[in-house]
């Protein structure tokens, strides 16, 4: 019974956005509501643009474990909240994608001035292929942004998801009056620097000055139209990932943020069952189980420890418990466990399905590994592979070291740190990654753990498309559209750009080009 109650409190989600949309600002407000920090401005040092300030963060920086790996965990109302950060900027990597396999829902922030941007689309695609429920926060209403209807249209068209505005803004920028909260039947009035006021719609007639304003009347008319002809709210559709509830607000003011959070946290799903090789694993199953979605290697040679991030899928974690690594059958004692929080790093004694814990990795774990308690034997579904975007040729600086070079690459690739391909003609090694950071980590670890200096030769951004083996025709490809083999000997083409890809599609309709994002959604 206890486990079931604990699981029912868990809300585990990630916030996704394009850099500068306001992820840090919004996260900070949520941490304030959760009493995790005392004042705004502590999460991100504005000058460096990096997370900074607290001692813990300084230590983390020195030790090379980036704070961007953080999981923020705090109680809020009746809930236990886990927010997973999805590193953007120069830290964007496969880990960012993999983080999304560990959450139950996602908050997508969109800048009301800029609309949908590149990184949002990429992260959205991953949510879509996993069927993760997505809640949208359209930020920066205090600025002159695009028309709300236009923004909704863009979401529906570009992301192909139905929208349901949970609230509706009256004016924006300097003429911003506030929002109609459709869900709670109230008007939230914007008062500039002063705290917002909540007016039940049944009492709005008393606010003569407000309701006669042009922006109020216009928004009210639009709302009538939405009520009549717009989409119906459907929580079922939201939970299936087919409809996104849209909230307007301003993270910095803050305006509408706490109302958004209260509604979101109520509607967001609690941990559900997860697919495994032996069937479905229920979150309230008494035996502990979980999977590793990320391994953070320490870049400081004086502290060679690594931390594995585990998403608990069932049961209860207790410090000191023994678990079995399904892949090898070996048993490990989980003695050092950490919960990673933005402001402190505490050892935790217990955790439940839905929670994320960091455990000490005795160099035994791999990304995607399943850990289980008890007699059962199963593995959770393999983590999806994500299409790399950035490619480089790699070689050992000293040819005498080719043995260590191969061993190092093999292990790092196995671990999921980076992807490896081979040129079809020259057999040279090509690495593929989602972001530049992966190359830096790779180079560093090759030098420090395998004692091999590596050289890169830039290939650049490419668009990978997999081929069906029987359709491979070497003559069709050259250095521009490079034919390579992945680790499982499947062929793919690295197209130079969107133009080459489309040209190829038009001229070789007989050849199927497979996008990894699409493959995963059918898998
Ligand atoms: P991140 O890169 O997504 O984490 O974005 P930040 O939270 O760092 O915000 C990027 C910039 O937008 C910063 O200068 C913020 O002060 C600003 N910003 C965030 N939210 C708002 C908002 O609601 N209104 C306005 N005008 N600016 C905002």
DSSP string, 37-90: -SSTTSSB-TTTSSB--SHHHHHHHHHT--GGG-EEEEEETTEEEEEE----GG
Closest residue to atom 15 of ligand 1, CA basis: 22
Any idea what the Cα angle at residue 451 is, between residues 449 and 454, rounded to 5°?
Answer: 105
Say if CB 84 and CB 13 are below 8 A apart. yes
> What size, in residues, is the chain?
523
Smallest CA-to-CA distance from 24 within 49, 48, 47 is with 49
DSSP assignment of 90-133, as one string?
Answer: GG-SHHHHHHGGG-SEEEEEEETTTBS-HHHHHHHHHHHHHT--
> Ligand 1: does its nearest atom lie under 6 Å from the Cβ of 254?
no
> Ligand 1: does its nearest atom lie under 6 Å from the Cβ of 99?
no
Closest residue to atom 27 of ligand 1, CA basis: 140
Say if CB 313 and CB 380 are below 8 A apart. yes
Query: If you measure from the C-alpha of residue 24 to the centroid of ligand 1, how many angstroms do you get, rounded to a whole number?
Result: 7
pLDDT of residue 13: 97
- What is this structure's pTM? 0.89
Q: Which atom of ligand 1 is nearest to the CA of 28?
A: 7
Say if CB 74 and CB 32 are below 8 A apart. no
The binding site for GTP consists of 17-24, 85-89, 139-142
DSSP assignment of 219-243, as one string?
Answer: HHHHHHHHHHHSPPP-HHHHHTTSE
| Cα 290 to Cα 315: distance, rounded to the nearest angstrom | 9
> Ligand 1: does its nearest atom lie under 6 Å from the Cβ of 17?
yes
Closest residue to atom 17 of ligand 1, CA basis: 22
DSSP assignment of 199-219, as one string?
Answer: EEGGGGGG-HHHHTSHHHHHH
| Cα 383 to Cα 228: distance, rounded to the nearest angstrom | 43
Could you tell me the sign of the dihedral formed by the alpha carbons of 138, 141, 143, 146, in that order? positive
pLDDT of residue 338: 57
Q: From residue 260, give the alpha-carbon distance in Å to each of 137, 233, 301, 442, 481.
A: 8, 16, 44, 40, 46
Tokens of 222: 């639009």
Residue 20 neighbours by CB under 8 Å, 6+ apart = 111
Query: If you measure from the C-alpha of residue 23 to the centroid of ligand 1, how many angstroms do you get, rounded to a whole number?
Result: 7
Closest residue to atom 10 of ligand 1, CA basis: 20
Say if CB 201 and CB 216 are below 8 A apart. no
> Ligand 1: does its nearest atom lie under 6 Å from the Cβ of 140?
yes
Which positions of the chain have pLDDT values less than 50? 42-69, 340-345, 521-523
> Ligand 1: does its nearest atom lie under 6 Å from the Cβ of 20?
yes
pLDDT of residue 336: 63
Burial (0-12, 13-18, 19+ Cβ within 10 Å), 152 = buried
| DSSP three-state, residue 402 | helix
Query: If you measure from the C-alpha of residue 252 to the centroid of ligand 1, how many angstroms do you get, rounded to a whole number?
Result: 7
Q: From residue 464, give the alpha-carbon distance in Å to each of 322, 374, 392, 496, 501.
A: 42, 42, 13, 9, 9
- Which of 17, 21, 23, 25 gets mutated to test ligand 1 (max ligand atoms within 8 A of its CB)? 25
Would you say the ipTM is above 0.95? yes
Q: Which atom of ligand 1 is nearest to the CA of 89?
A: 2
| Cα 481 to Cα 501: distance, rounded to the nearest angstrom | 9
pLDDT of residue 383: 84
According to DSSP, residue 246 is labeled: E
pLDDT of residue 42: 46
Tokens of 131: 């069927």
- Tabulate helix, strand, coil % of the chain (nearest 5): 30, 30, 35
| DSSP three-state, residue 394 | strand
> Ligand 1: does its nearest atom lie under 6 Å from the Cβ of 25?
yes
Query: If you measure from the C-alpha of residue 438 to the centroid of ligand 1, how many angstroms do you get, rounded to a whole number?
Result: 26
Say if CB 285 and CB 314 are below 8 A apart. yes
pLDDT of residue 107: 98
pLDDT of residue 301: 56
pLDDT of residue 347: 64
The number of CA neighbours under 13 Å toward the Cβ of 382 is 7
| Cα 168 to Cα 220: distance, rounded to the nearest angstrom | 9
> Ligand 1: does its nearest atom lie under 6 Å from the Cβ of 465?
no
> Ligand 1: does its nearest atom lie under 6 Å from the Cβ of 108?
no
pLDDT of residue 50: 36
pLDDT of residue 272: 96
Q: Which atom of ligand 1 is nearest to the CA of 44?
A: 8
> Tokens 């774990």 appear where?
365
> Ligand 1: does its nearest atom lie under 6 Å from the Cβ of 142?
yes
- Which of 85, 112, 252 gets mutated to test ligand 1 (max ligand atoms within 8 A of its CB)? 252
Q: What is the CA radius of gyration of the chain?
A: 25
Query: If you measure from the C-alpha of residue 439 to the centroid of ligand 1, how many angstroms do you get, rounded to a whole number?
Result: 29
E strands along 228-367, which residues? 243-248, 274-276, 279-281, 289-297, 306-314, 316-318, 322-325, 331-333, 337-340, 345-347, 350-352, 356-361
Q: Which helix (H) or strand (E) holds 258?
A: helix 257-267
pLDDT of residue 473: 86
| Cα 467 to Cα 469: distance, rounded to the nearest angstrom | 6
Strands 243-248 and 134-139: parallel
pLDDT of residue 459: 94
Tokens of 84: 């997973």
């Amino acid at each position: 019974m206890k486990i079931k109650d604990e699981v029912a409190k868990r809300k585990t989600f990630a916030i996704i956005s394009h850099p500068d949309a306001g992820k840090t600002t919004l996260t900070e407000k949520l941490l304030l509501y959760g009493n995790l920090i005392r004042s705004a401005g502590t999460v991100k040092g504005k000058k460096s643009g990096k997370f900074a300030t607290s001692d813990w963060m300084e230590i983390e920086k020195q030790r090379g474990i980036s704070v961007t790996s953080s999981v923020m965990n705090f109680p809020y109302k009746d809930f236990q909240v886990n927010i997973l950060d999805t590193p953007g900027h120069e830290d964007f990597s496969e880990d960012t994608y993999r983080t999304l396999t560990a959450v139950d829902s996602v908050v997508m922030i969109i800048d009301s001035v800029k609309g949908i941007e590149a990184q949002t689309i990429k992260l959205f695609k991953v949510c879509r292929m996993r069927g993760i429920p997505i809640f949208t926060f359209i930020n920066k209403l205090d600025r002159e942004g695009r028309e709300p209807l236009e923004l909704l249209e863009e979401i529906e068209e570009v992301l192909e998801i139905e929208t349901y505005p949970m609230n509706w803004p009256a004016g924006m920028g300097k003429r911003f009056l506030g929002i109609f909260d459709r869900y709670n039947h109230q008007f939230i009035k914007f008062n500039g620097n002063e705290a917002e006021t909540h007016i039940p719609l049944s009492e709005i007639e008393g606010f003569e000055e407000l309701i006669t304003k042009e922006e109020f009347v216009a928004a009210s008319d639009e709302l009538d139209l939405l009520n009549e002809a717009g989409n119906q709210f459907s929580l079922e559709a939201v939970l299936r990932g087919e409809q996104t509830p849209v909230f307007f607000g301003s993270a910095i003011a803050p305006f509408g943020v706490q109302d958004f959070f209260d509604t979101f946290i109520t509607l967001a799903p609690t941990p559900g069952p997860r697919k495994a090789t032996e069937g479905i694993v229920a979150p309230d199953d008494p035996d502990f189980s979980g999977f590793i979605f990320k391994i953070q290697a320490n870049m400081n040679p004086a502290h060679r420890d690594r931390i594995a991030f585990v998403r608990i899928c069932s049961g209860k974690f207790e410090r000191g418990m023994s678990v079995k690594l399904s892949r090898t059958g070996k048993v490990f004692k989980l003695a050092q466990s950490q919960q990673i929080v933005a402001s402190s790093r505490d050892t935790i004694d217990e955790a439940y399905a839905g929670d994320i814990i960091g455990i000490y990795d005795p160099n035994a774990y791999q990304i995607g590994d399943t850990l289980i308690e008890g007699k059962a034997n199963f593995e959770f579904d393999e983590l999806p592979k994500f299409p790399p975007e950035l490619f480089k040729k790699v070689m050992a600086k000293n040819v005498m070291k080719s043995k260590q070079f191969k061993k190092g690459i093999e292990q790092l690739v196995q671990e999921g740190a980076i992807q490896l391909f081979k040129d079809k003609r020259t057999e040279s090694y090509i690495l593929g990654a989602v972001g530049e950071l992966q190359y830096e980590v790779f180079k560093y670890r090759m030098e420090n753990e395998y004692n091999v200096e590596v050289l890169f030769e830039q290939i650049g951004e490419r668009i990978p498309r997999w081929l069906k083996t029987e359709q491979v025709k070497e003559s069709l490809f050259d250095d521009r559209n490079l034919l390579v083999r992945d680790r499982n000997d499947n062929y793919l083409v690295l197209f130079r750009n969107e133009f080459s890809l489309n040209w190829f599609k038009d001229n070789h309709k007989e050849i199927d080009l497979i996008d990894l994002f699409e493959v995963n959604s059918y898998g």
